[in-house]
Every structure is written in C-alpha cells, then in structure tokens.
Amino acid sequence: MDNHEISSFRKVLRRFERLMSNLQKKNVCCSGITLPQSHAILEIEELGETTTVHLSKNMGLDKSTLSRTIDGLVTIGLVQRHPHPSDRRSVLITLTDQGKKTCNEINIANDKYYSNVFQSIANEKHGDIIRCFEILVGAMTGQRSVVTCQSPVTTEAKDNELMSSQSYFDNVAGQWDTMRKDFFSESVREKAFATANIRADKLAADIGAGTGFVTEGLISNGLKVIAIDQSEAMLDVLRKKFDGIDCRAGRAESLPVQDETVDYVFANMYLHHVEEPPAAIREMARIMKTGGKLVITDLDEHDFAFLREEHHDRWMGFKRDDVTSWFTDAGLKNVQVDCVGQDCCSDSCDGTASAKISIFVASGTKL
C-alpha cells in the first residue's frame, strides 16, 4: 500500500472511530452501564459460563482490570461469580437474569442500528463488508502480538482486542522455530524422552505439537507420531518437514484420537496455553493404552505477566503439587514431577522485564 492509500484509509478510519464512539456513548447511556461493562456482558453471553482468566484473555484485558469491571457488574446485580467445581484456582462468571435482560437490550439496540445501516447498502456487498472487517481485525491483532516490539498498547486498544490463542499461533507459525530457540533448547525434549524411556517403533502423540519440536525428536528416535494442534498454520509448517506425518487439527478438550491408542503422550509448553489444564490432562490420559506414559514439560509458577500479553500465555506456570494432583485425578500412577534442569528465557518487548523460569517434567503411567 502506498502512502496516499494509507492516508485515505486512516481518514475514513477516523470518521468510523468517531461514529463508533458516539454510538457507544448513546447505547451505554440507554443501558446505564459503562462501555467496558457492556463489552464484558456481551462477551460473557457469548461464552456462557466462563472463567475470569478466559474472559480476560478473550477481551485482551489484564486480570486486575477485568476484575474491577466484573466487581462493578456484580455490585449492580448483572453478573455472579461461583467457585469452579473442578479447579480451585478458578472462578466461574455468569450473567444473572437481570444481566441477561440488559444484554438483550444492548443486542436489540445494536441489531436495530446495524440493520438500518445495512439497509442502505446493496445486499450483495454485505458479505464483503463482514469479510473485510474480519481480515482487518485479524491483521491488526496479529501485528500487535507477533514478535515485533511495538510501542505500549493503550487501554483502549486492549479493550478492542479480541485474539484467540489459535490466531496468535496462526500468526507466529512462520517464526516459531526461531522464537522457540530463544525460549528453550533441545535438552527439554531429551529429558522428556528419557523420562518416558521411549522405545523405537512405538506410537506417540505430540499434543500442542506446534511446528514439530517434539515430533522431530521422536521420529529421529524411530517412533511413529500423531501430531495434534489447534493451529492449522503451525501444522502446515510441521507437515512440510516430515513426509507423510499423521497430523491432526484438534483442541485440548476433545483430541481427535480414539481411546487407548498410543504408547506415549508428550506435551511441551502446551499446558500453560490451554483453558482447563486438569481436563486437558484427563483427555491426554484417555488416548493412552494401558501401560502408556504421559510426559508433560512446562513452566513452574512465575510472575512474569508480560508473557500473557506478548506470548498469549494463559497460565503463569503451575505449582508442581497441582500438576501432581491433576495427573493423579486423571487416574495415572507413579506420578512424578522433577526439574528439567533448564530455564525458559524471554525478554519483554519494552526491555523492562527478563523472564527466566524453571521448567518441570511431569510423568505418569496408565495402569
């Protein structure tokens, strides 16, 4: 795009921003709540029952900002918090009946407004407009979060961000191998393989396989591999490296593998990205044969919040006792959590923080 096009685009964008700002003020006045509260209500409605962590990720807000927004909504009776039934570190958030009513009012007002707007645009252009917005939002969220070090993001920009873990990894797929080398080295997978005591010709699943860091090590040790990841873009990079590899797109909560299929399951730097770690561990245990081993390498608990912002981490590492309980609750035996003996390292984009986090290796056997 040349400078002239950029300038025209920015001009129309400014007009659009002003229109949106006026519209939002008007709608918010009608429902009597603030703009961030109205966004939170709409997000909660879309997600149904959700956790604070999930909601803060979805809205691109840090947990404390989101907590304040939710506190306000709880006080006025639109949202309620409940303890999570299976994860004591989480709190579930739902809309109250009054919250659902307010949400409905916001939706009706917005639907009516946009329905009138679209009436003045030819029908055949409607799909194009939606697709253009999707492309633009995808490109803008990718630009902000991918490796490049940008100037700090404003709260307003954060409010508007909606980036899933999947789109983050879709965006970094082409650079992941380079990024990964800065985070940790081959010795992490060597430790995982030694812990599992891998044998050639056995079948392993690499969950959250990404571009194939663990898969590569398994193949070179003579194992067969099923590589699973939510991100098609990461899997595309992986596929190009290994001829005929069994690659499957799938998510933590329902892995695309039948019960009792594989001899080993590996997951490196995956657990801190999933929504529900205990459920993800149960799902990995499900696909293991009797005698099979699960080996997870991930981060010990830490307080480097920039990793959530810049690398889309969902959990700030884990307590080893929690991981042990999750393995045990998944029915695994001989559960052990040890040190890999290596740290995961990363510097924040603005140069103010430098993370050095110890890595654990957790293992358990299905008996």
Q: What are the residues binding ligand SAM (CB under 6 A)?
A: 165, 169, 180, 208-210, 213-214, 229-231, 234, 251-252, 268-270, 273-274
* Min dist. Cβ of residue 9 to ligand SAM (A): 31
Judged by beta carbon, residue 78 or residue 214, the one nearer ligand SAM is 214
DSSP bridge pairs for 153 = none
Distance in Å, CB of 235 to ligand SAM, minimum: 8
> In terms of CB distance, is 45 or 275 closer to ligand SAM?
275
Give the shortest CB-255-to-ligand SAM separation in angstroms.
8
Nearer to ligand SAM, 102 or 231 (CB): 231
Nearest approach in angstroms of CB 171 to ligand SAM is 11
Q: How far apart are CA 199 and CA 222, in angstroms?
A: 8
Other beta carbons less than 10 A from residue 244's beta carbon: 6
How many other CB atoms are found less than 10 A from the CB of residue 342? 16
Angle between helices 165-172 and 126-145 (to 10 degrees): 70
Whether 231 and 313 have beta carbons less than 8 Å apart is answered as no
- If the CB atoms of residues 41 and 226 are measured against ligand SAM, the closer one turns out to be 226
CB of 348 to ligand SAM, least distance (A): 17
Q: Where are the beta strands (DSSP E) in 101-236?
A: 203-207, 224-229
CB-nearer residue toward ligand SAM: 224 or 248: 248
What is the layout of strands, in order, in the sheet containing 50-51? 50-51, 91-95, 79-83
**Strand stretches in 44-126, DSSP E:** 50-51, 79-83, 91-95
